[in-house]
Amino acid sequence: MRLFTSFRLAVLLALALAGRPAFAQDAGTTVLQPENVRMDFAQVMRVQPIYQVLRATRMEPRCSDQAHAAEEKGLAKIVGAVKGAVSRKPEPAPQQENCEMVPVVREFRRPIAYDVDYVYRGTKYRSRLPYDPGNRLRVRVSVVPYIPPRK
Task: Give the model confidence (pLDDT) of 132-151 as tens digits.
Answer: 999 999 999 998 888 899 88
At 64 the pLDDT is 79
Best-predicted range by mean pLDDT (65-69, 99-103, 109-113): 109-113
The answer to whether residue 28 scores a pLDDT higher than 70 is no
Percent of the chain with pLDDT over 90: 42
At 35 the pLDDT is 75
Task: Give the span between the Cα atoms of 68 and 95, in whole angstroms.
Answer: 9
Shortest CA distance to 60 belongs to which of 29, 17, 103? 103
pLDDT in tens, 107-137: 999 999 999 999 999 999 999 999 999 999 9
The answer to whether residue 13 scores a pLDDT higher than 60 is no
Helix boundaries (H) for the chain:
2-18, 66-71, 75-86
Q: What is the largest CA-CA distance in the chain?
A: 117
* Segment holding 119, helix H or strand E: strand 99-120
In sequence order, the 6+-apart residues with CB closer than 8 A to the CB of 112 are: 50, 51, 52, 130
